[in-house]
Amino acid sequence: MGITGIKRLLLGRPLANAQASEEKIPKWKALAVLSSDALSSTAYATEEILIPLAAFGALALTWSVPVAFAIVSLMVIVTLSYRQTIQAYPNGGGAYVVANENLGPLAGLTAGAALLFGYLLTVAVSVAAGVGAVTSAFPEIAEHRVLLGGAFIAILTWLNLRGVRESATFFAYPTYVFIFSLLALIGFGAWRIASGDVPHAAPILEPVSEAVPLFLILRAFSSGCAALTGIEAISNGVPAFKHPSAQNARTTLVWMTLILGVMFLGITAVSHAYGITPQAAETSISQLARSVFGTGPWYYLIQVATALILILAANTSYNGLPWLAAVLARDRYLPRQLAVQGDRLVFSNSILWLSGASFILLALFGGDAHSLIPLYAVGVFLGFTLSQAGMVVHHRRERQPGWRTGLALNLLGAVTTGVVFLVVGVTKFQDGAWIVALVVPLIVALFRKIHLHYLCVGEELTLSHVDAPPHLAPMRHTAVVPVSGVHRGVIDALRYALSITDDVRAVYVEIDAAAADRMQKEWMRWGHDIPLVILKSPYRSVIGPLIEYLDDLEQTATREAITVIIPEFVTRVWWHNFLHNQTAFMIRAALLFRRGKVITSVRYHLRAG
Amino acid sequence: MGITGIKRLLLGRPLANAQASEEKIPKWKALAVLSSDALSSTAYATEEILIPLAAFGALALTWSVPVAFAIVSLMVIVTLSYRQTIQAYPNGGGAYVVANENLGPLAGLTAGAALLFGYLLTVAVSVAAGVGAVTSAFPEIAEHRVLLGGAFIAILTWLNLRGVRESATFFAYPTYVFIFSLLALIGFGAWRIASGDVPHAAPILEPVSEAVPLFLILRAFSSGCAALTGIEAISNGVPAFKHPSAQNARTTLVWMTLILGVMFLGITAVSHAYGITPQAAETSISQLARSVFGTGPWYYLIQVATALILILAANTSYNGLPWLAAVLARDRYLPRQLAVQGDRLVFSNSILWLSGASFILLALFGGDAHSLIPLYAVGVFLGFTLSQAGMVVHHRRERQPGWRTGLALNLLGAVTTGVVFLVVGVTKFQDGAWIVALVVPLIVALFRKIHLHYLCVGEELTLSHVDAPPHLAPMRHTAVVPVSGVHRGVIDALRYALSITDDVRAVYVEIDAAAADRMQKEWMRWGHDIPLVILKSPYRSVIGPLIEYLDDLEQTATREAITVIIPEFVTRVWWHNFLHNQTAFMIRAALLFRRGKVITSVRYHLRAG
């Protein structure tokens, strides 16, 4: 089995992408597939509220339910706002597209940078939280947290290189299992409280403590806003819905928010009643599940479902990032190549970059979801704000029927998410938001640098200001063939050289005087009339003397072009390539930045195994 | 400052290797430089004897001094044996050379594999022991042992990429500082015992306990044999000595063994008298130095000197490995390229491989010298045995004056080291010697596979059985130029194509129908009479349709060769290369294993920054 065989075995047959994009999915599946990112955040959002409050003291925990209510109100506002986006951008309105079209390139690039960084964080946070679900159930492997996260990322990488699609049906089940098991947890937990089965249950709506400072409550709110991450996925994915797609997407969005709101509020309220406080070694959900169900099959079901939906959430980045990169590349903000999605190699590169970068992020933060979340939330709200603000401008410009209502909803959305963005940015600045303040401008600067380069190159290459067609006069050549000996491998290269010019020179680098003498004698017999140049190499280097010779030749040659014809071997067994062509590789590398040489490889296919 | 500038700054000016190899070094320096590997083993050899004995109980420790005496006798035998090798191989008699010439290729390759693996282990063990010296003095950094080892390896890598030579004078001082400070430790320690200053000093030559099982004593002996590692370095380095080099090398070898023996016996005896027992957190030398001198400047001098000589010992591999690789490559057991030592790139690759592999080894064993030593010792004794056995055959064959004495000495050496090899292999099998039993045959198999491949290729390529010179008739060509648009970047490629054949075809892959229409119109104006082929791409791939077209062309073409002329850009700023030529790279990769296509790059040098 050759390389191709192994690759096929590991990665599967090439996909007909054109076909895949035509496939439309029904609402029940779209809900599962597009909301895994959003719903999975209930796995950590409640705990995020509890952590800053618990640091102040048990009294402060009375604020958790009101804070969750505030966050759910925010969800409603964001949902109403995104319903407008779905209608206005039925082809998918990501923050980059909306901000770029309506607010100009700087806002668009900022949104694009926030999204790009956000995709990394989605992988890092979701995987870290998934690992948290596993290590809560099996604390003995907690010390290998980063390794376990790496294993999850490796599995995602492999699945995506193989070409598993987000729309695959088996991706839908874990979401429903997660929803079902968490609703069961909330329901059974509430029933046990109602039946008086929980001795010291706190009342769910108890009066809040007034001694808690406002800044702390804002911090708790900011932390809990992690619950909103991923809520925009449906508006990005409108084209995937069945006809009428915009209508179906809007309905699905409302359903998703409803489920998300109920789960998030429910978990927060029941956790409060059970008196759950955040622990380093065990997630709050795990504690709650143990308290409600005991450490039995139900408990393990919840942990498994939580880990699975978090891995699914991480997987959404693998679908989102290449698409975003293609849009940015089309607009010349990323290497042009990324826009050509049909070439597997390009797509594979995006996947490997995403996996590598998110693993580094995960490792830098010690595999701890809680330390990564501030970075995540602040970027997400930056995207929300730019997207909603873009919609406000859109309504004013387009003035389509009902634009006033739309404008009012998006204005509310833009202002609210803008305020939340500032609140999160300020209260979480020290906890990692500063990293976003550093990374996003850097990415924007990189986008602009790439764009400028492409503009300059376009200017340099264009023929549109030139009136007459360029003169395509043939060139006159000198061909130089580096030879390592007299053998079959060089014959084709020499024949090729003779066929393109009458000025051919074979060049041999002398490392060992005796070998050079033998070479000279054999050349007399086999070399026809091609002159053999023997170069001395005092420092036993092959490359140095050859490059010097070529430079001299360029000074003295009367011909216009020098073609270096390198005989190369193609081996039958892939690793045998390491046994050949190293010199060819080095010649190529050495000539890379030198002008005016044309480099030609004439390959000899070895039969030897 | 360009790439070259940065490289110069970091790596220094290229070295005139031819000059360097002419430089001869005096005995006092040769002793320092070539014996750092051997002498540094006193830093851990005593402790290695103590560990198995201490595990049995305090009684067993009475065996440490007799075991050390046995090991010193072994040193004398090996030294006498290597004095013969120096005389017989004044150009440097490494185990590979001696075994290969006298015992045949299989023995030679086994010795070569053992040496190769040994170079890795020299780095790993020496660095691990050096880290041990540092963490004994500063236990608070003990948990970062692997990281610290990585830092030492990084420094060695950088120094060697820069081209520091083993013969540099400043490498000689640490060896003398080490010898001086350890002799001071032994002397002052003995004086304190003699003056009755040490309350519970054990008598140095106390009667041994008869309750200790033989196997345990053999284990202690095997462990202590680590003291002999590196003893062969002088016989490998004979050509570096001043005239008369063999005579000087023999004298230096005797001196080295004398110093090594005194230091090793001295440390072991004084350690025994002071009642040192092995500790996980602190080396025995460190304990002894603290007991003798107290934790003051003398203590820190000893720790620093020990760490330094161990790093020097690791550095010897960076000089030895490329030389061994070159010899093996010359004999076609490793990629041919490794024999060309003058090209910096080759040498740099060896260094990077050595650093990477030894760091992996170090990390796998948790940075612990004690776990690595069994692997090291068994490989070293395999080399000794093969080398001495080779010398026995050498004497019988050559029968030069005094050959009988030589034969007797080498026979004694071969038998003794052979027996020790077996003893170490058996007593340390579970402790890691099995890894050597696995790795050495694998390396030998790889050598043979590479050799076989080169033989087959040589057979395939040779023209020596052919009577008539091959006919170098020019070929008839078709040239295919993939174009991405009508711009200056493709003009040179088209001119080049026209200059080598009259059958030129420009090929454009259509991803977007509108762009293809524009392309067609522009081509009418600029494309002269070169036909433009437009290829449809249903799956939005650039590479797929192009390769298909080339394959079709090959089927139908009447011309002998197809040259694919790829227009490439050379950018002024290095990272801009990532923004171009990706398609060129993919075309090249896709064509790699296809027969009969010649690939030519015609480069356009961008002015844009």
Give SS3 for B25. Answer: strand
Instruction: Give the pLDDT confidence score for residue B164 in this predicted structure.
Output: 60
Q: Does A342 touch chain B (CB under 8 A)?
A: yes
Give SS3 for B598. Answer: strand
Instruction: Give the mean pLDDT of A125-137.
Output: 95
Which residues of chain B lie closer than 8 angstroms to A325, CB-CB?
Answer: none
Give SS3 for A607. Answer: coil
Around B10, how many Cα atoms within 13 Å sit in the side-chain half-sphere?
A: 11
Per the structure block, which two tokens stand in for B587?
A: 């075309």
Instruction: Give the pLDDT confidence score for residue A143 in this predicted structure.
Output: 81
Instruction: Give the mean pLDDT of A563-589.
Output: 82
Instruction: Give the pLDDT confidence score for residue A609 in this predicted structure.
Output: 64
Which residues of chain B lie closer than 8 angstroms to A609, CB-CB?
Answer: 453, 456
If one compares A197 and A227, the residue with the highest pLDDT of the two is: A227
For residue B40, give the nearest of B273, B233, B291 by alpha carbon.
Answer: B233
Shortest Cα–Cα distance, A78 to chain B (Å): 36
Q: How far apart are CA B489 and CA A352, in angstroms?
A: 31
pLDDT band, residue A15 (cuts 50/70/90): very low
Burial of B543 (0-12, 13-18, 19+ CB in 10 A): buried
Which secondary structure element, helix H or strand E, spans residue A72, and what is its range?
A: helix A64-88
User: Which of B344, B541, B593 lies nearest to residue A342, judging by beta carbons?
Assistant: B541
DSSP string, A396-407: HHH--TTHHHHH
Q: How high does pLDDT run on average in chain A? A: 86
- Looking at B78-82, B394-398, B469-473, which range is the least confident one? B469-473
Shortest Cα–Cα distance, B200 to chain A (Å): 45
Tens digit of each residue's pLDDT (9 = 90 or more) over A428-440: 998 889 999 999 9
Tens digit of each residue's pLDDT (9 = 90 or more) over B393-407: 999 998 888 889 999
For residue A178, give the nearest of A264, A305, A45 by alpha carbon.
Answer: A305
Q: Does B606 touch chain A (CB under 8 A)?
A: yes
Nearest CA in chain A to B565: A600
Which strand ranges, in their side-by-side order, compose the sheet holding A477-482? A532-536, A504-510, A477-482, A561-570, A597-605, B597-605, B561-570, B477-482, B504-510, B532-536
Instruction: Give the pLDDT confidence score for residue B16 in this predicted structure.
Output: 41
Instruction: Give the pLDDT confidence score for residue B384 in this predicted structure.
Output: 94
Instruction: Give the mean pLDDT of A531-559.
Output: 85
CB B232 within 8 A of CB B383: yes
Q: How far apart are CA A296 and CA B241, in angstroms?
A: 76
CB A481 within 8 A of CB A505: yes
Q: Kindly list the distances between the CA atom of residue B149 and the CA atoms of B5, B116, B355, in Å, as whole numbers in the listed order.
A: 30, 21, 11
Q: Does A518 touch chain B (CB under 8 A)?
A: no
Q: What is the dihedral of CA B131, B133, B139, B142, to 10 degrees?
A: 20
Say whether A606 and B460 touch across the interface (CB within 8 A): yes
User: Which of A491, A499, A563 lies nearest to residue B477, judging by beta carbons?
Assistant: A499
Instruction: Please give the CATH superfamily to which domain A477-605 belongs.
Output: HUPs (3.40.50.620)
Instruction: Give the mean pLDDT of B355-377.
Output: 91
Tens digit of each residue's pLDDT (9 = 90 or more) over B135-191: 999 998 888 888 899 999 999 998 888 766 655 677 788 899 999 999 999 999 999
pLDDT band, residue B421 (cuts 50/70/90): very high
Q: Does A477 touch chain B (CB under 8 A)?
A: yes
CB A350 within 8 A of CB A326: no
pLDDT band, residue B470 (cuts 50/70/90): low
Q: How high does pLDDT run on average in chain B? A: 86
Instruction: Give the pLDDT confidence score for residue A167 in this predicted structure.
Output: 58
Q: Does A521 touch chain B (CB under 8 A)?
A: no
Shortest Cα–Cα distance, B32 to chain A (Å): 28
Instruction: Give the mean pLDDT of B329-351.
Output: 81
User: Which of B337, B579, B602 lies nearest to residue A598, judging by beta carbons?
Assistant: B602
pLDDT band, residue A18 (cuts 50/70/90): very low
- Indicate if ipTM > 0.90: no
User: Which of B540, B579, B589 lies nearest to residue A335, judging by beta carbons?
Assistant: B579
If one compares A464 and B398, the residue with the highest pLDDT of the two is: B398
Fold (CATH) for A29-454: Amino acid/polyamine transporter I (1.20.1740)
Where on the phi/psi map is residue A585: left (φ > 0), alpha (ψ -120 to 50), or beta?
Answer: alpha
pLDDT band, residue B19 (cuts 50/70/90): very low
Shortest Cα–Cα distance, A600 to chain B (Å): 4
CB B492 within 8 A of CB B567: yes
DSSP string, A256-286: HHHHHHHHHHHHHHHHHHTT----SSS-HHH
Best of B465, B499, B530 to substitute, by most chain A Cβ atoms within 10 angstroms, is B499
- Looking at B17-21, B260-264, B489-493, which range is the least confident one? B17-21
Tens digit of each residue's pLDDT (9 = 90 or more) over A51-97: 999 988 888 888 999 999 999 999 999 999 999 999 888 887 688 99
Q: Does A488 touch chain B (CB under 8 A)?
A: yes
If one compares A583 and A189, the residue with the highest pLDDT of the two is: A189
Per the structure block, which two tokens stand in for A80?
A: 């109403």
Instruction: Give the pLDDT confidence score for residue B12 in this predicted structure.
Output: 47
CB A507 within 8 A of CB A483: yes
Our CA angle for B261, B262, B264, nearest 5°, is 65
CB B103 within 8 A of CB B418: no
Say whether B491 and A511 touch across the interface (CB within 8 A): no
Tens digit of each residue's pLDDT (9 = 90 or more) over A386-396: 999 999 999 99
Q: Does B70 touch chain A (CB under 8 A)?
A: no
Per the structure block, which two tokens stand in for B191?
A: 């004086």
Instruction: Give the pLDDT confidence score for residue B18 in this predicted structure.
Output: 38
Q: How far apart are CA B248 and CA B27, in angstroms?
A: 7
Our CA angle for B484, B487, B491, nearest 5°, is 95
Question: With pLDDT > 90 as the criterion, what percentage of chain B qualifies?
Answer: 46
pLDDT band, residue A207 (cuts 50/70/90): confident
CB A496 within 8 A of CB B561: yes
Phi, psi of A92 (to 5 degrees): 105, 110
For residue B496, give the nearest of B563, B551, B545 by alpha carbon.
Answer: B563
Alpha helices (runs of H) in A399-478, residue ranges in sequence order: 403-427, 434-461
If one compares A93 and A309, the residue with the highest pLDDT of the two is: A309
Q: Which residues contact A29 (CB under 8 A, 6 or more apart)?
A: A167, A169, A172
Instruction: Give the pLDDT confidence score for residue B154 in this predicted structure.
Output: 93
Tell whether the model's pLDDT for residue A383 goes beyond 90: yes
Which residues of chain B lie closer than 8 angstroms to A453, CB-CB?
Answer: 576, 579, 608-609
Which residues of chain A lie closer than 8 angstroms to B346, CB-CB?
Answer: 582
Phi, psi of A241 (to 5 degrees): -75, 155
User: Which of A459, A540, A606 lies nearest to residue B457, judging by beta carbons?
Assistant: A606
Q: How far apart are CA A12 and CA A348, in angstroms?
A: 13
CB A217 within 8 A of CB A63: yes
Instruction: Give the pLDDT confidence score for residue A413 in this predicted structure.
Output: 92
Around A506, how many Cα atoms within 13 Å sit in the side-chain half-sphere?
A: 26
Burial of A418 (0-12, 13-18, 19+ CB in 10 A): middle
Which residues of chain A lie closer than 8 angstroms to B500, CB-CB?
Answer: 477, 499-500
Tell whether the model's pLDDT for residue B366 goes beyond 60: yes
Distinct helix (H) and strand (E) counts, chain B: 22, 5
Instruction: Give the pLDDT confidence score for residue B166 in this predicted structure.
Output: 58
Phi, psi of B237 (to 5 degrees): -105, 20
Q: Does A457 touch chain B (CB under 8 A)?
A: yes
B4-23 burial string, b = 16+ CB within 10 Å, else e? eeeeeeeeeeebebeeeeee
If one compares B412 and A474, the residue with the highest pLDDT of the two is: B412
Shortest Cα–Cα distance, B336 to chain A (Å): 7
Instruction: Give the pLDDT confidence score for residue A561 in this predicted structure.
Output: 80
Q: How far apart are CA A140 and CA A144, in angstroms?
A: 9
Alpha helices (runs of H) in A462-510, residue ranges in sequence order: 488-500
Question: In chain A, which among 8-67 make CB contacts under 8 A with chain B?
Answer: 16-18
Which residues of chain B lie closer than 8 angstroms to A499, CB-CB?
Answer: 474-477, 500, 561
pLDDT band, residue A23 (cuts 50/70/90): low
pLDDT band, residue B15 (cuts 50/70/90): very low
Could you identify the residue written with the tokens 């990272």?
B575
State which CATH number among 1.20.1740.10, 1.10.10.60, 2.130.10.10, 3.90.1170.30 fits the domain covering B3-454. 1.20.1740.10
Tell whether the model's pLDDT for residue A469 goes beyond 70: no
Tens digit of each residue's pLDDT (9 = 90 or more) over A221-275: 999 999 999 888 888 888 878 888 889 999 999 999 999 999 999 999 999 999 9
Domain boundaries, chain A: 29-454, 477-605
Tell whether the model's pLDDT for residue B20 goes beyond 90: no
Best of B343, B452, B592, B597 to substitute, by most chain A Cβ atoms within 10 angstroms, is B343
Q: Which residues contact B408 (CB under 8 A, 6 or more apart)?
A: none
Output the pTM of the full model: 0.70
Q: Which residues contact B590 (CB under 8 A, 6 or more apart)?
A: B543, B546, B547
Q: How far apart are CA A158 and CA A167, in angstroms?
A: 17
Instruction: Give the mean pLDDT of A203-210.
Output: 77
pLDDT band, residue B73 (cuts 50/70/90): very high
Q: Does B465 touch chain A (CB under 8 A)?
A: no
Say whether B342 and A461 touch across the interface (CB within 8 A): no
Tell whether the model's pLDDT for residue A3 goes beyond 90: no
Say whether B343 and A586 touch across the interface (CB within 8 A): yes
Shortest Cα–Cα distance, B317 to chain A (Å): 22
Instruction: Give the pLDDT confidence score for residue B23 in this predicted structure.
Output: 61
